[in-house]
Amino acid sequence: MSMIDCQLVFNVENREYVDLDLYRSRGGYGALAKVLAADPRESVYVLKEAGLKGRGGASFPTGLKIEMVRSNQEQERYIIINADEGEPGTFKDRYIMTHLPFQLLEGVTIAAYLAGASRGILYVRHEYDEPRSVMRESIAQAKRAGLLGENILGSGFSLDIELFSGAGSYLCGEETALLSSIEGRKGRPQVKPPYPTQQGLWGKPTLINNVETLSNIPKIMEKGALWYRSLGTEDSPGTKLISLSGDIRFRGLVEVPFGASFRDIVYEYGGGPKPGRKVKAVNIGGASGVLIPEEMLDVPLEYGACARAGITIGSGAVFVLDDTRSILDNVSNRINFFLHESCGKCTPCREGLRQAQIIMEKLIAGQAVMKDVQNLERYTRVMQNASFCGLGQAAGNSVISSLHYYGEEYCSRCKDGEEDLYGEESA
Amino acid sequence: MQAVVQEIVGQMGNEKAPLLQVLLAVQDASPRNYVSEEAVRAIARSMKVSRCRVYSTASFYTEISLKPRGRHLIRICGNAPCENAGRTAIMEAIQQELGIEAGETTADGLISLEKVSCLGSCYKSPAIKVDHQVYGNLTPEEAVAVIRSLREGGEQ
Ligand SMILES: Cc1cc2nc3c(=O)[nH]c(=O)nc-3n(C[C@H](O)[C@H](O)[C@H](O)COP(=O)(O)O)c2cc1C
Ligand code: SF4
Ligand code: FES
């Protein structure tokens, strides 16, 4: 695998920390020099051609987002690096910050230059003490080397990056909540539009990107859009960092070109289940993602194909449950998580989650009836359709997918469970 | 208190200081890991904002405490990857060792125990964090050993 790996974007296989000297000796910061000397419009064009999409969850085209900020009349603009990484089961941004800090900083600097932003904020979740201190030190080093701060590489372009810390709120990863949090308010989401690209931090145009997204940029600018497209598929160029956890032999971070199947991810990259065990379910995209059965693992890791199969790639967390696990316990764990993280601003999410928690507890205690399961589905649908922000909209994904694929586990815990899950009443 | 807070706020830009970052820094400077009522008043005064505003922000965030906590914080991840890897047994062992439940502080004010969301360390679930350090792949016995060494260190 290593032959292929060294041609990817992150090359995580050796778990190597790349310091500034090593990074530069391998051509690091060459892309920035190239971009600073070129016509920014052409560089943005390369990013669009490469087909890079956001890795923070919403998969919005990155080149287009940069262009939207760039084309704004307002000259005071910001770049925010979203390192809130709150999705349970995800540790890719942590890895980038602790192992490849300069690849991230080069990407940030290029993106800021193209968007015309001269102030940046790196918002790191509270739990990440080590990544925060590595980034603090790396920012200082880059400044001393003339790669950040005033007049970068003699180009006249300046960029300052400040480090901010989150305070234990999952919701603050959502971009408008993130803005509120930086501005010192409660981290509650705001109405869009206006989008942050139009009116973001302090009302100014703001580019908000995920750590992994930005860290792709130096490689694209260095090697070109064609090279990038040669990795991955037509629909989804490039690679995705996958955080593997759960009941598999190799837990940890892997870099997977788009187009590989989830079966490859679980069995090749993850080494399959532990000896004597079978894969029962795979959870993709963290707590807000779906649970799929082993038979569905042939779906390729690709935005289009996944959307058609009802899978959200999200942060790229892949969490495996083997045949010793209870689906209901795992779904219940997620509901409790979201109930804790919900900000309570809108009713469908706040009340829907509370009801879901009550029903899950009844089910697990063997006290529920089929009617409860039907209600659970109904409340969850309302939550998906009527919640104000992405938290509530996605919180029920594990409920709906598990009802679909593991309905019998719900039924078998009901007092009147012999009946069909979708009896007359839900017609 | 006013002097400590004023210094923190001053370093961060006085009235333009980012409130959440100020709250975190003030909390970090407190040996009991919290933001006291007095500190809230001092922050409001230094930043020229209402106390209500300071409370409103402070109370939203899980990681800001308005009540005194222990000098050491033990955080146990409660999400699915850690749950499946045995975090409940670890929680129980630590609760028994300390004689407190999650969300409580030992009577001597040394240790608080908290259940938190994913620590981004699920490649070594079950994971716990003791102050700034994450420990992974723990058995309940190992977790208790970590706590004991903390207590011995703390009582010196
Ligand atoms: C509840 C919620 C939590 C989110 N958490 C994160 C996060 O931790 N990190 C992240 O990069 N994006 C997160 N997002 C997505 C952001 O809103 C935003 O789309 C992203 O930062 C944009 O960057 P990208 O285009 O590079 O993906 C979250 C979204 C929602 C709805
Ligand atoms: S969906 Fe949930 S988290 Fe989002 S605004 Fe509504 S209550 Fe808050
Ligand atoms: S789920 Fe426990 S560290 Fe991620």
Do B133 and B83 share a domain, yes or no? Answer: yes
Helix (H) or strand (E) holding A359: helix A347-364
From the alpha carbon of B121, which atom of ligand 3 is closest? 3
| Domains of chain A and CATH, by start | 12-231 (3.40.50.11540), 239-322 (3.10.20.600), 327-412 (1.20.1440.230)
In chain A, the residue whose alpha carbon lies closest to the alpha carbon of B86 is A246
pTM of the model: 0.96
| Contact yes or no for B20 and A89 at CB 8 A | no
This complex has an ipTM of 0.96
Do B97 and B130 share a domain, yes or no? Answer: yes
What is the three-class DSSP state of A179? helix
Residue B117 lies in a domain: yes
Residue B144 lies in a domain: yes
What is the three-class DSSP state of A244? strand
For A106, residues 6+ apart whose C-beta sits below 8 A from its C-beta are: A28, A29, A31, A32, A147, A217, A218
DSSP per-residue letters across A284-328: ESGGGSEEEEGGGTTSBS-HHHHHHTT---TT-EEEEEETT--HH
**Alpha carbon of A205 to ligand 3 centroid (Å):** 34
Do B76 and B128 share a domain, yes or no? Answer: yes
Token representation of residue B64: 């800001």
Note whether B11 contacts A: Cβ–Cβ < 8 A. Answer: no
- Looking at residue A4, its pLDDT comes to 44
* CATH number, residue B91: 3.40.30.10
Do B48 and B114 share a domain, yes or no? Answer: no
CB-based contact B88:B139 (threshold 8 Å): no
Do B145 and B117 share a domain, yes or no? Answer: yes
Domain enclosing residue B89, as ranges: 72-151
Do B38 and B90 share a domain, yes or no? Answer: no
Q: What are the φ/ψ torsions at residue B116 (nearest 5 degrees)?
A: -125, 175
Do B138 and B110 share a domain, yes or no? Answer: yes
What is the three-class DSSP state of A222? helix
- Looking at residue A388, its pLDDT comes to 98
Do B92 and B45 share a domain, yes or no? Answer: no
- Which residue from A165, A186, A244 is facing B24, i.e. has the nearest CB? A165
Residue B35 lies in a domain: yes
Nearest to A211 by CA among A55, A373, A13: A55
* pLDDT per residue rounded down to tens, chain A (427 residues): 444 445 899 999 999 999 999 999 999 999 999 999 999 999 999 999 999 999 999 999 999 999 999 999 999 999 999 999 999 999 999 999 999 999 999 999 999 999 999 999 999 999 999 999 999 999 999 999 999 999 999 999 999 999 999 999 999 999 999 999 999 999 999 999 999 999 999 999 999 999 999 999 999 999 999 999 999 999 999 999 999 999 999 999 999 999 999 999 999 999 999 999 999 999 999 999 999 999 999 999 999 999 999 999 999 999 999 999 999 999 999 999 999 999 999 999 999 999 999 999 999 999 999 999 999 999 999 999 999 999 999 999 999 999 999 999 999 999 998 655 555 444 3
Residue B97 lies in a domain: yes
Residue B39 lies in a domain: yes
Give the strands of the sheet with B111-116, arranged side by side: B111-116, B72-77, B128-130, B133-135
Nearest to A240 by CA among A2, A47, A81, A10: A10
Q: What are the φ/ψ torsions at residue A404 (nearest 5 degrees)?
A: -70, -50
Residue B66 lies in a domain: no
Do B124 and B99 share a domain, yes or no? Answer: yes
Residue B67 lies in a domain: no
Note whether B81 contacts A: Cβ–Cβ < 8 A. Answer: yes
CB-based contact A228:A237 (threshold 8 Å): yes
Do B103 and B128 share a domain, yes or no? Answer: yes
Question: Is the shortest distance between the CB of A288 and ligand 1 below 6 Å?
Answer: no
| Contact yes or no for A88 and B20 at CB 8 A | no
Half-sphere exposure of A123 (CA within 13 A, CB side): 33
Do B55 and B80 share a domain, yes or no? Answer: no
| Prior bond of A40 cis (ω within 30°) | no
Judged against a pLDDT cut of 80, whether residue B90 lies above it is answered with yes
Instruction: Report d(CA A178, CA A58) in Å as an integer.
Output: 15
| Mutation choice for ligand 3 from B117, B125, B133, B138, CB with most ligand atoms inside 8 A | B125
- Looking at residue A420, its pLDDT comes to 57
Helix (H) or strand (E) holding A165: strand A160-165
Question: Is the shortest distance between the CB of A84 and ligand 1 below 6 Å?
Answer: yes
Note whether B132 contacts A: Cβ–Cβ < 8 A. Answer: yes
Note whether A193 contacts B: Cβ–Cβ < 8 A. Answer: no
Do B113 and B139 share a domain, yes or no? Answer: yes
CB-based contact B26:B35 (threshold 8 Å): yes
**Do the bridges between strand A239-246 and strand A252-257 make them parallel or antiparallel, or are there none, so unpaired?**
antiparallel
Number of domains in chain B: 2
Q: What is the pLDDT of residues B101-148, one digit of tens each?
A: 999 999 999 999 999 999 999 999 999 999 999 999 999 999 999 999
Instruction: Report d(CA B91, CA B78) in Å as an integer.
Output: 9
- Which residue from B63, B118, B119 is facing A167, i.e. has the nearest CB? B63
Which chain B residues are within 8 Å of A339, Cβ to Cβ? none
Residue identified by tokens 């989150």 is A166
Note whether A288 contacts B: Cβ–Cβ < 8 A. Answer: no
Judged against a pLDDT cut of 60, whether residue B58 lies above it is answered with yes
Q: Which residue type occupies B113?
A: L
| Mutation choice for ligand 1 from A124, A165, A175, A188, CB with most ligand atoms inside 8 A | A175
Residue B156 lies in a domain: no
Instruction: Report d(CA B10, CA B22) in Å as an integer.
Output: 10
